Structure formats: structure tokens, C-alpha cells
Amino acid sequence: MSILFVLLTFLVIISMNYLYFRTAQSVPVTARPPVRPSVPVMAKEMGFAIPKGYSFHPGHTWVMPEGGDNARVGLDEFAADLVGKIEQIEVVGAGRWVRQGQRLIGVKAAGTSFDLVSPVEGVVTDINPDVMKDPALAISDPYNKGWIAMVKAPDLNINKKNLLQGSMVAPWMHYNVSRLNSAITSSNPALAQDGGMPLNQVLLKVGIELRQKLIKDFFLN
């Protein structure tokens, strides 16, 4: 009798497991909605177009909170103008944890490869598929359609203390243009400008030695 009871119990368990897993497998998987970042509000300061609410890393990447712990990341306009043309963009990969100031983005441009650092610490949750297909978006629209990755950054407010924000951004941009002008004047005075953004594709217009120096100085490679 006890053997029959054990067998019946075993059959009941098998039947319940079968029905459970069959039901679970039949539930359709809902596709993840595409990321729709907010459109930046631009302000003109000291000749620069500065997006309100964005925070900037000294390595010329930016971060914009998108609700909760989510933060959108990209390269800034100074970097876009300095590079001028990007052949390829790579991101460390969704699901990867990155630290503030650690490599997040790999860029191939001007016949060389270099990295851009993460402005915040967190987990990469999304990568902009449009900019992967067309890297030119990161140059033509760096603060909107050219965003590169979404990072879940639980310590965003703490990270922002190490970034340039608000009234600090325009003077910092101006200082970087001055530094760039000083660096390239000795090589090619025609490339230097009196304020505003630098000429496009500067990295393509200088020799390889100066190119590597500019990458090291401005992108912290």
C-alpha cells in the first residue's frame, strides 16, 4: 500500500511540473521598449551651446539623468569637433559594470583608436543602436540622437560631485579651446582660433605625434 502511495505521489508531482513549465513557456516575451531620451534644452554661454542639466567629465564625456538611477552618456561637443569624423564606436557591453573614469567607449578615428571614459559608475543597460550603425550621429548631434549608452548609476548624485556642472561648464570649455590652440599653434598656426569651438577634424590635420598628445591630454588616455 505504501509503495502504491509513493508512486501516486510521484506521478502527481511529475504532472504538476509538466503543466507548470508548459504554461510558463507559453507566456509570450514582451519586447523591451526602445530608449527614448529627453530632448536637451540648449543655452548659449561664452559662445558655446551648453545643454541644461548635463554634467561633464574632464575626459569629455557627459551624463544626463533620465529618471530613477538611469543616466544617459555620450561625448561632448568639444570632443565631437576635435575628432570631426568617427569610423567606428564600441561600448564595453550591456550588463558590464564600469567605474567613474574607467574605459566605457572605444573610438576609431583619424587613423587611430582611443578610449572615452565613463562619467559615472554603474551598469551599462542599453547601447544606442542608431549610433552603432551610424557613428556620425555622435558628431552631428552629440547631446541628443548621438547618445551612446545608458547606465544604471545608483550613486549618480555622488558621482556628479566629481563632474563639471552648471556655470562651470562654459569656462571649462573655453579653457579647453585655449589649451588646444596653444598645443597646435606651434605645429600649424592656421588651425588656431580666437575662442569658440575648434575647427572640425583637428586630429586629422595634425601629425601623428601631436595627435597622440591631444588624445592623451583631452581624452585622458
Helices (DSSP H) in the chain: which residue ranges?
Answer: 2-26, 77-83, 129-133, 137-140, 156-159, 169-185, 202-205, 208-219
Q: What is the CA radius of gyration of the chain?
A: 24
- Picking from 2-6, 33-37, 126-130, which range would have the lowest pLDDT averaged per residue? 2-6
Pairwise CA distance, residues 74 & 215, whole Å: 17
Q: What is the pLDDT of residue 103?
A: 97
pLDDT at 185: 83
89 touches 120 (CB < 8 A): no
What was the pLDDT predicted at 197? 55
Please compute the mean of the pLDDT values over residues 145-151 and round it to a whole number. 97
| The residue to which cell 505521489 is assigned | 9
- pTM of the prediction? 0.81
Give 194's Cβ-side CA count (13 Å radius): 0
| Complete domains list, the chain, with CATH | 42-168 (2.40.50.100)
pLDDT in tens, 170-217: 999 999 999 998 888 877 766 665 555 556 789 988 999 999 999 999
pLDDT at 195: 52
Question: 88 pLDDT band (50/70/90 cuts)?
Answer: very high
| Beta carbons of 113 and 211 less than 8 angstroms apart | no
Q: What is the pLDDT of residue 39?
A: 84
Kindly indicate the confidence band of residue 27, based on its pLDDT and cuts at 50, 70 and 90. Answer: very low
- State the cell numbers at 89: 564606436
What's the pLDDT score for residue 19? 39
